[in-house]
Amino acid sequence: MESSSPIVSRSLKTASAKPSRRDFLRSSAKLSLGVGLGLSSLDWLAGCTQLADHRITPWDELAAKLQGSLLRPGMSSFVDLSTPWALQYASTVPQAIAQCRTEADVQTCIQWAKAHAMPLVARSGGHSYGGYSLTTGLMINVSALNSFSYDPNTGLATVGSGARNRTIFTECKPLNRAIPHGRCYEVGVAGLVLGGGIGFDMRLHGLTCDALRETRIVLADGRVLTCNENENTDLFWACRGAGGGNFGIHTSFTFETFPVSTVTTFNLVWTDRIVDTFAAIQSMTQSAPNVLGIKVSITAQKQAGASVLSLTILGHFVGSEADFRSLIAPILAVQKPAEQTIQVLPYWDGQQTISEEGKPEYAHERSRFVNGQLPDEAIQLIISQLKNWPGTSKAATWKYFLLGGQIDAQSPTDTAFVHRGYSMLSSTELEWTPADDAATLAKNEKWLSDFHNQMEAYTSPYCYQNFIDPSQDGYLQAYYGSNLPQLRAIKRKYDPENLFNYPQSIPV
Ligand SMILES: Cc1cc2nc3c(=O)[nH]c(=O)nc-3n(C[C@H](O)[C@H](O)[C@H](O)COP(=O)(O)OP(=O)(O)OC[C@H]3O[C@@H](n4cnc5c(N)ncnc54)[C@H](O)[C@@H]3O)c2cc1C
pLDDT digits (tens, 9 = 90+) for 267-277: 999 999 999 99
Q: Is 396 inside any structural domain?
A: yes
CB 400 within 8 Å of CB 313? no
Q: Is residue 316 part of a domain?
A: yes
- Say which residues have a Cβ less than 8 Å from residue 393's Cβ, sequence separation at least 6: 432, 433, 435, 436
Helix, strand or coil, per DSSP, at residue 403: coil
Is the pTM for the entire model greater than 0.85? yes
> What average pLDDT does the structure give for the chain?
91
192 in ligand 1 pocket by Cβ < 6 Å? yes
Alpha helices (H) in 239-374, listed in sequence order: 274-286, 321-334, 347-353
Cα of 9 from ligand 1 centre, angstroms:
24
Q: What is the pLDDT of residues 38-71, one digit of tens each?
A: 334 444 334 434 444 555 899 999 999 999 999 9
Please list the residues that pair with 428 across neighbouring strands. Answer: 366, 398
Asked if residue 499 is part of any domain, the answer here is no
Mutate to test the pocket of ligand 1, among 139, 192, 205, 235 (most ligand atoms within 8 A of CB): 192
Asked whether 161 lines ligand 1 (CB < 6 A), one says yes
Number of structural domains (the chain) is: 2
Q: Whose CA is nearest to atom 4 of ligand 1?
A: 184
Band the pLDDT of 154: cuts 50, 70, 90: very high
CB 297 within 8 A of CB 365: no
CA 105, 110, 116, 120 dihedral sign is positive
Percentage of the chain surpassing pLDDT 90?
A: 89
β-partners of residue 226 are: 216
User: Are 105 and 66 spatial neighbours (Cβ–Cβ below 8 Å)?
Assistant: yes
CB distance 85 to ligand 1 below 6 Å: yes
Q: Looking at the domain assignment, is residue 99 inside a domain?
A: no
Which of 187, 252, 365, 431 most suits a substitution to test ligand 1, by most atoms within 8 Å of the C-beta? 187
Residues 6+ apart with CB under 8 A from 349: none
Q: How far is CA 193 from the centre of its chain?
A: 10
pLDDT at position 56:
81
Here the CATH number for the domain that contains residue 374 is 3.40.462.20
Which residue, judged by its Cα, is nearest atom 48 of ligand 1? 133
**35 lies in some domain:** yes
Residue nearest to atom 3 of ligand 1 (CA): 184
Strands of 81-119 (E only): list them: 96-99
Is residue 135 in a domain? no
Q: Give distance in angstroms: CA of 336 to centre of ligand 1.
A: 37
Phi, psi at 386, each rounded to 5°:
-70, -35
Tell me what the mean pLDDT of segment 438-448 comes to.
98
- 340-384: per-residue pLDDT in tens? 999 999 999 999 999 999 999 999 999 999 999 999 999 999 999
Ligand 1: atom nearest CA of 249 is 42
Segments forming the whole domain that contains residue 22: 9-65
pLDDT, residue 6, reads 28
How many whole angstroms from 252 Cα to the centroid of ligand 1? 15
The answer to whether residue 111 sits within a structural domain is: no
Q: What is the pLDDT of residues 141-153, one digit of tens each?
A: 999 999 999 999 9
> Residues 211, 256: contact at Cβ < 8 Å?
yes
Q: Is residue 140 part of a domain?
A: no
Q: What separation in Å is there between the alpha carbon of 125 and the centre of ligand 1? A: 6
